[in-house]
């Protein structure tokens, strides 16, 4: 199909997109503010987390814009040369004036896109919003090619507050009834996660089917195909194992023994999954870089719904799921965090660093009201507070709420739903 005809069709589709009622996201305001900078905006995140709808939400506000999704079969195999033709046809058809925006969705599908984008941004003043479903969009070499002119937005599946908006539940006051509803929705959020489409459909079977579809697409399209993995079944089993064992310490050598492959293969598989935003890892806190390299890392899945769908378990993993939810939320809040463990095996789930020093400690404990559990978790937290010279720490619980002092240290117990309600600038 000729490029001019494709662009004509795209503009008709753009008109329909601009009239859609789009699910609001918290990142919309940030995106609008970044438009004032004239920098190249890149939006990255796991497949189906809502990147396309985020840029479509501002399409109606940009009359000189063209939205192009490069997963469209009409654009298969497009290169930078085709981008030039799209631009030329768009100018001929639309004559958009001075402020031209190209909204390029899944731009990593286009070979050599970055050089064309930089040249058009520099020479023509063309404005870009780019999305991608793998971390190549965030790679240092891409930033170098773009000349440091890009600003990044990292998008995640829905936060719990966004999830409640999707459910049309936004109470002004928390009565006992409304608090019970929040807890009900929290259980749904933990079990099925925050992917937008999953949040909108009804029925557990339908939700799990969608999530398994996402997992398979990410594995086969974003990883196996892209990295030319030969033993597809082995990699799929590896991916399932890592996701099913989230909120756990992982070492390359342990995985090597489990799967009977070389350490380099394990490292590559690990990196591929991180590149596709399926997982992320958290290192141990240490002032020594070699310790961070030496000790196992804690692994988390990008979405608990995806984890549950892939692992076929939910109820027995509530504690690990709570921890995973907190890890993703800290990532969403752009915190720098680690786990802590001493030589007596006392452990704190999250050490949050600000200005190069530990500032906050967060422990996650689903069943804190068991005496032996409470004793173990508080001892570890107090020990870490002593080590880092901190006066307080938080324990996130299922429903227990309290404030107590142990050995002169303040411990704040806060239910998960209430912690998720906090401002994103808080810990």
pLDDT tens for the 427 residues of the chain, in order: 689 999 999 999 999 999 998 989 999 999 999 999 989 999 999 999 999 999 999 999 999 999 999 999 999 999 999 999 999 999 999 987 778 999 999 999 999 999 999 999 999 889 999 999 887 776 776 777 787 788 999 999 999 999 999 999 988 888 999 999 999 999 999 999 999 999 999 999 999 999 999 999 999 999 999 999 999 999 999 999 999 999 999 999 999 999 999 999 999 999 999 999 999 999 999 988 888 888 999 999 999 999 999 997 766 689 999 999 999 999 999 999 999 999 999 999 999 999 999 999 999 999 998 999 999 999 999 999 999 999 999 999 999 999 999 999 999 999 999 999 876 667 7
pLDDT for the residue 120:
95
CB atoms within 10 A of CB 28: 15
* Residue of 63, 48, 68, 60 whose CA lies nearest to 129: 68
- Taken in order of first residue, the domains within the chain and their CATH numbers are 3-154 (3.40.50.300), 162-420 (no CATH)
* Separation of alpha carbons 45 and 23, rounded Å: 17
Q: What is the DSSP letter of 79?
A: B
Report the pLDDT value the prediction gives residue 142, as an integer from 0 to 100.
Answer: 77
Query: What pLDDT score does 423 carry?
Result: 66
Integer CA distances (angstroms), 127 to 119, 322, 424, in order: 11, 41, 29
Contacts (Cβ under 8 Å, ≥6 apart) of 195: 48, 49, 157, 158, 210, 211, 214, 303, 305, 306
Q: What is the pLDDT at residue 424?
A: 67
DSSP helix/strand/coil, 419: helix
**Sign of the torsion formed by the C-alpha atoms of 323, 237, 261 and 277:** negative
- What's the pLDDT score for residue 322? 98
pLDDT reported for residue 206: 98
- Please report how the helices 304-311 and 176-192 are oriented relative to each other, as an axis angle in degrees rounded to 10: 50
């Amino acid at each position: 199909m000729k490029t001019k005809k494709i662009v004509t069709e795209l503009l008709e589709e753009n008109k329909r997109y601009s009239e859609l009622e789009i699910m609001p996201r918290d990142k919309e305001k940030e995106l609008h503010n970044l438009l004032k900078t004239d920098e190249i905006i890149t939006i990255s995140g796991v497949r189906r987390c809502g990147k396309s709808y985020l840029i479509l939400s501002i399409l109606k506000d940009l009359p000189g814009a063209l939205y192009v999704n490069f997963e469209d079969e009409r654009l298969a195999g497009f290169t930078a040369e085709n981008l030039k033709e799209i631009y030329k046809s768009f100018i001929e058809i639309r004559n958009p004036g001075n402020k031209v925006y190209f909204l390029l969705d899944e731009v990593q599908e286009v070979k050599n896109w970055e050089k064309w984008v930089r040249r058009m941004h520099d020479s023509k003043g063309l404005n870009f919003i780019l999305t991608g479903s793998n971390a190549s969009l965030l790679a240092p070499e891409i930033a170098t090619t773009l000349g440091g002119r890009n600003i990044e937005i990292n998008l995640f599946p829905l936060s719990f507050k966004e999830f409640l908006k999707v459910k049309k539940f936004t109470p002004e006051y928390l009565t006992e009834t409304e608090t019970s509803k929040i807890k009900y929705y929290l259980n749904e959020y933990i079990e099925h996660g925050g992917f937008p489409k999953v949040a909108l459909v009804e029925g557990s079977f339908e939700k799990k089917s969608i999530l398994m579809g996402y997992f398979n697409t990410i594995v086969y399209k974003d990883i196996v195909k892209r990295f030319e993995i030969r033993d597809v079944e082995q990699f799929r089993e590896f991916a399932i194992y890592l996701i099913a064992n989230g909120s756990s310490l992982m070492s390359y050598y342990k995985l090597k023994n489990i799967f009977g492959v070389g350490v380099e293969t394990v490292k590559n598989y690990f990196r591929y999954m991180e590149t596709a935003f399926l997982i992320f890892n958290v290192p141990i806190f240490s002032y020594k870089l070699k310790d961070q390299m030496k000790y196992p890392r804690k692994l988390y899945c990008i979405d608990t719904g995806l984890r549950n769908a892939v692992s076929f378990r939910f109820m027995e993993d509530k504690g690990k799921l709570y921890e995973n939810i907190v890890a993703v939320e800290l990532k969403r809040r752009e915190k720098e965090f680690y786990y802590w463990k001493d030589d007596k095996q006392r452990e704190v789930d999250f050490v949050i660093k600000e200005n190069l020093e530990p500032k906050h400690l967060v422990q996650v404990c689903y069943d804190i009201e068991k005496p032996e559990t409470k004793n173990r978790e508080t001892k570890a937290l107090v020990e870490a507070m002593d080590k880092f010279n901190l006066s307080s720490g938080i324990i996130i619980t299922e429903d227990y709420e309290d404030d107590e002092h142990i050995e002169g240290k303040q411990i704040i117990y806060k239910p998960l739903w209430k912690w998720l309600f906090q401002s994103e600038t808080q810990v």
